[in-house]
Protein backbone atom coordinates (compact mmCIF):
# COMPACT_ATOMS: atom_id res chain seq x y z
CA UNK A 1 0.00 0.00 0.00
CA UNK A 2 1.00 3.57 -0.48
CA UNK A 3 2.33 5.35 2.64
CA UNK A 4 0.26 8.49 2.06
CA UNK A 5 -2.94 6.51 1.62
CA UNK A 6 -2.15 4.32 4.61
CA UNK A 7 -1.62 7.26 6.97
CA UNK A 8 -4.85 8.95 5.84
CA UNK A 9 -6.71 5.65 6.19
CA UNK A 10 -5.29 5.01 9.67
CA UNK A 11 -6.15 8.52 10.89
CA UNK A 12 -9.73 8.42 9.66
CA UNK A 13 -10.26 4.88 10.89
CA UNK A 14 -8.96 5.69 14.39
CA UNK A 15 -11.20 8.77 14.64
CA UNK A 16 -14.21 6.75 13.52
CA UNK A 17 -13.49 3.97 16.01
CA UNK A 18 -13.03 6.39 18.91
CA UNK A 19 -16.32 8.15 18.10
CA UNK A 20 -18.14 4.82 17.91
CA UNK A 21 -16.76 3.72 21.26
CA UNK A 22 -17.81 7.04 22.82
CA UNK A 23 -21.44 6.20 22.20
CA UNK A 24 -22.15 8.30 19.11
CA UNK A 25 -24.76 5.95 17.63
CA UNK A 26 -25.52 8.12 14.62
CA UNK A 27 -22.01 7.49 13.32
CA UNK A 28 -22.65 3.77 12.80
CA UNK A 29 -24.26 4.45 9.45
CA UNK A 30 -21.43 6.78 8.53
CA UNK A 31 -18.85 4.06 9.14
CA UNK A 32 -19.49 2.53 5.73
CA UNK A 33 -19.30 5.95 4.12
CA UNK A 34 -15.99 6.77 5.84
CA UNK A 35 -14.44 3.45 4.89
CA UNK A 36 -15.57 3.89 1.29
CA UNK A 37 -14.26 7.46 1.14
CA UNK A 38 -10.99 6.42 2.74
CA UNK A 39 -10.56 3.63 0.21
CA UNK A 40 -11.17 6.10 -2.61
CA UNK A 41 -8.57 8.48 -1.15
CA UNK A 42 -6.11 5.61 -0.79
CA UNK A 43 -6.58 4.53 -4.41
CA UNK A 44 -6.25 8.12 -5.64
CA UNK A 45 -3.13 8.76 -3.54
CA UNK A 46 -1.42 5.59 -4.71
CA UNK A 47 -2.43 6.03 -8.32
CA UNK A 48 -1.63 9.72 -8.69
CA UNK A 49 1.68 10.28 -10.42
CA UNK A 50 2.65 6.62 -10.48
CA UNK A 51 1.97 6.56 -14.23
CA UNK A 52 2.03 3.16 -15.84
CA UNK A 53 5.08 2.84 -18.01
CA UNK A 54 6.21 0.31 -20.55
CA UNK A 55 8.73 -2.21 -19.25
CA UNK A 56 11.83 -3.74 -20.76
CA UNK A 57 13.39 -6.69 -18.95
CA UNK A 58 11.48 -5.83 -15.79
CA UNK A 59 12.71 -2.21 -15.81
CA UNK A 60 10.29 0.64 -16.27
CA UNK A 61 11.02 2.65 -19.40
CA UNK A 62 9.77 5.64 -17.40
CA UNK A 63 13.00 5.65 -15.36
CA UNK A 64 15.48 8.46 -16.09
CA UNK A 65 18.07 7.29 -18.64
CA UNK A 66 21.04 7.28 -16.21
CA UNK A 67 19.09 5.10 -13.75
CA UNK A 68 17.94 2.76 -16.55
CA UNK A 69 21.54 2.40 -17.80
CA UNK A 70 22.86 1.84 -14.27
CA UNK A 71 20.30 -0.93 -13.79
CA UNK A 72 21.44 -2.62 -17.01
CA UNK A 73 25.11 -2.24 -15.99
CA UNK A 74 24.26 -3.95 -12.69
CA UNK A 75 22.84 -6.86 -14.74
CA UNK A 76 26.22 -7.36 -16.45
CA UNK A 77 25.84 -5.17 -19.55
CA UNK A 78 28.69 -2.88 -20.55
CA UNK A 79 28.62 0.29 -22.63
CA UNK A 80 30.09 0.23 -26.13
CA UNK A 81 31.39 3.80 -26.06
CA UNK A 82 32.59 3.66 -29.68
CA UNK A 83 29.05 2.95 -30.92
CA UNK A 84 27.28 5.29 -28.46
CA UNK A 85 26.35 8.91 -29.04
CA UNK A 86 26.32 10.54 -25.63
CA UNK A 87 23.55 12.94 -26.63
CA UNK A 88 20.96 10.54 -28.10
CA UNK A 89 21.94 6.87 -27.94
CA UNK A 90 23.72 4.38 -25.72
CA UNK A 91 24.76 0.97 -27.03
CA UNK A 92 25.25 -1.85 -24.53
CA UNK A 93 26.41 -5.42 -24.85
CA UNK A 94 26.43 -8.44 -22.58
CA UNK A 95 28.98 -11.28 -22.87
CA UNK A 96 26.27 -13.95 -22.46
CA UNK A 97 23.68 -12.50 -24.84
CA UNK A 98 23.68 -12.69 -28.63
CA UNK A 99 22.42 -9.15 -29.14
CA UNK A 100 23.47 -5.56 -28.62
CA UNK A 101 21.08 -3.18 -26.93
CA UNK A 102 20.49 0.30 -28.31
CA UNK A 103 18.81 2.89 -26.09
CA UNK A 104 17.40 5.96 -27.83
CA UNK A 105 16.63 8.93 -25.63
CA UNK A 106 15.99 12.65 -25.51
CA UNK A 107 17.26 14.38 -22.39
CA UNK A 108 16.46 12.00 -19.52
CA UNK A 109 13.45 10.53 -21.34
CA UNK A 110 14.00 7.01 -22.70
CA UNK A 111 12.16 6.68 -26.03
CA UNK A 112 13.15 3.30 -27.46
CA UNK A 113 15.01 0.13 -26.48
CA UNK A 114 16.13 -2.01 -29.41
CA UNK A 115 17.71 -5.46 -29.35
CA UNK A 116 19.93 -6.07 -32.40
CA UNK A 117 20.72 -9.77 -32.76
CA UNK A 118 24.01 -11.02 -34.14
CA UNK A 119 23.34 -14.42 -35.67
CA UNK A 120 25.17 -16.34 -38.37
CA UNK A 121 22.46 -17.96 -40.50
CA UNK A 122 19.12 -17.00 -42.02
CA UNK A 123 17.52 -20.07 -40.42
CA UNK A 124 18.64 -19.01 -36.94
CA UNK A 125 17.07 -15.56 -37.37
CA UNK A 126 13.85 -17.05 -38.78
CA UNK A 127 13.55 -19.41 -35.80
CA UNK A 128 14.32 -16.67 -33.29
CA UNK A 129 11.82 -14.30 -34.96
CA UNK A 130 9.11 -16.97 -34.52
CA UNK A 131 10.11 -17.60 -30.89
CA UNK A 132 10.06 -13.88 -30.03
CA UNK A 133 6.74 -13.33 -31.82
CA UNK A 134 5.10 -16.32 -30.08
CA UNK A 135 6.45 -15.30 -26.65
CA UNK A 136 5.15 -11.73 -27.02
CA UNK A 137 1.77 -12.97 -28.28
CA UNK A 138 1.47 -15.16 -25.19
CA UNK A 139 2.77 -12.51 -22.76
CA UNK A 140 0.58 -9.71 -24.12
CA UNK A 141 -2.42 -11.86 -24.94
CA UNK A 142 -2.72 -10.11 -28.29
CA UNK A 143 -2.29 -10.91 -31.94
CA UNK A 144 0.33 -8.88 -33.77
CA UNK A 145 -0.20 -6.83 -36.90
CA UNK A 146 2.04 -8.50 -39.49
CA UNK A 147 2.36 -6.25 -42.56
CA UNK A 148 5.13 -8.49 -43.99
CA UNK A 149 5.36 -12.27 -43.71
CA UNK A 150 7.85 -13.36 -46.36
CA UNK A 151 10.57 -15.96 -45.83
CA UNK A 152 13.34 -13.44 -45.32
CA UNK A 153 11.42 -10.31 -44.38
CA UNK A 154 8.89 -10.50 -41.56
CA UNK A 155 7.41 -7.85 -39.30
CA UNK A 156 5.23 -8.38 -36.23
CA UNK A 157 3.92 -5.23 -34.55
CA UNK A 158 2.28 -5.36 -31.13
CA UNK A 159 0.48 -2.39 -29.60
CA UNK A 160 0.35 -2.26 -25.83
CA UNK A 161 -1.44 0.19 -23.58
CA UNK A 162 1.66 2.34 -23.25
CA UNK A 163 3.82 1.53 -26.27
CA UNK A 164 4.68 -0.55 -29.31
CA UNK A 165 6.82 -3.66 -29.70
CA UNK A 166 8.12 -4.64 -33.14
CA UNK A 167 9.89 -7.84 -34.12
CA UNK A 168 11.59 -7.34 -37.50
CA UNK A 169 13.44 -9.96 -39.57
CA UNK A 170 15.47 -8.77 -42.57
CA UNK A 171 17.67 -11.42 -44.14
CA UNK A 172 18.67 -9.40 -47.21
CA UNK A 173 22.47 -9.40 -47.11
CA UNK A 174 23.19 -10.59 -43.58
CA UNK A 175 20.93 -12.29 -41.03
CA UNK A 176 19.32 -9.42 -39.10
CA UNK A 177 16.76 -9.51 -36.33
CA UNK A 178 15.62 -6.53 -34.27
CA UNK A 179 13.15 -6.28 -31.40
CA UNK A 180 12.12 -2.70 -30.58
CA UNK A 181 10.24 -1.44 -27.54
CA UNK A 182 8.95 2.09 -28.14
CA UNK A 183 6.97 4.16 -25.62
CA UNK A 184 3.89 6.04 -26.75
CA UNK A 185 4.49 9.75 -26.52
CA UNK A 186 1.91 12.28 -25.43
CA UNK A 187 0.52 14.35 -28.29
CA UNK A 188 1.14 18.03 -27.84
- pLDDT tens digits, 13-71: 455 455 545 554 434 433 443 333 333 333 333 333 344 678 999 999 999 999 999 99
Report the alpha-carbon distance of residue 9 to residue 15 in Å, rounded.
10
The model carries a pTM of 0.69
**Mean pLDDT (whole number) for 149-168:** 94
Distance of CA 70 to the CA centre of its chain: 16
Report the alpha-carbon distance of residue 42 to residue 7 in Å, rounded.
9
Model confidence pLDDT, tens digit, residues 3-13: 444 444 455 44
Domain boundaries, the chain: 3-47, 55-183
CATH architecture assignment, domain 55-183: 3-Layer(aba) Sandwich (3.40)
**Neighbouring-strand partners of residue 59:** 56
Q: What is the largest CA-CA distance in the chain?
A: 84
Amino acid sequence: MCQIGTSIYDTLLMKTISMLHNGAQWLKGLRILVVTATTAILVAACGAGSGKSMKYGGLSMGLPVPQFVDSLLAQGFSIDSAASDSGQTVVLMHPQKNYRLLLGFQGDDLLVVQENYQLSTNDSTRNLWQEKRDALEKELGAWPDCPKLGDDHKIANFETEDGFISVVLENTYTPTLQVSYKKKTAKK
